Amino acid sequence: MRFGEWSDIAPPTTFLYTDKIHEQPNTGVGLAKAHLRKVTLDNFSECMSLKVNESQQEFIAPNVKSLAEAYVNPTLSPLAIYDVKVAGYEKPQLPMVGFIMYEITAGVGFILRLMIEHNYQRQGYGRAASLEVIRRLKLHRF
């Protein structure tokens, strides 16, 4: 893997929690790793095409709406979720697995949106992406 060539995919965007595996009650989930990248011209179509199960649609806004909100609201940070295997590559070699968006406003951070494409759910990506965003929020100097 090649690191450090792309400002938006620097190593801190990768969250690894294999050291916490014994704290994960869901077998296998502890091995999953999420890598977060900006949503750009290259991947926004894929981001908009991600789907959750029909029964979950009421819980989350469509990604196209979240991206539109982020376009007009600079306090929002929309990020694409990938498996950590794509870290360091210019173009992801694997499909996007989900989407997460957080907000920092008035000195407080919020995770506003989180969705994992239905084919990739229950593999630990949702947890790993959430923890990575929480880590970023803790690093933010309010």
Using CB under 6 A as the criterion, which residues of the chain lie in contact with ligand COA when the complex forms?
Answer: 24-26, 29, 52, 56, 59-60, 113-116, 121-127
Residue closest to ligand COA, measured at CB: 126
Considering beta carbons, is residue 29 or 31 the nearer one to ligand COA?
29
* 100 phi/psi in degrees, rounded to 5: -140, 145
Asked if residues 101 and 78 have their Cβ atoms less than 8 Å apart, the reply is yes
Amino acid identity for residue 139 in this structure = L
CB of residue 4 vs ligand COA: minimum separation in angstroms?
28
Considering beta carbons, is residue 60 or 104 the nearer one to ligand COA?
60
Three-state SS letters, 85-108: HHCCCCCCCCCCCEEEEEEEECCE
CB of residue 57 vs ligand COA: minimum separation in angstroms?
8
Give the other-Cβ count within 10 Å of 93's Cβ.
10
CB of residue 12 vs ligand COA: minimum separation in angstroms?
20
Considering beta carbons, is residue 43 or 121 the nearer one to ligand COA?
121
CB of residue 116 vs ligand COA: minimum separation in angstroms?
4
Q: How far apart are the first and last CA of the chain?
A: 34
Considering beta carbons, is residue 10 or 21 the nearer one to ligand COA?
21
Kindly state the DSSP code that residue 99 receives in the 8-state scheme.
E
Let me know how many helices (H) and strands (E) the chain has, helices first. Answer: 3, 5
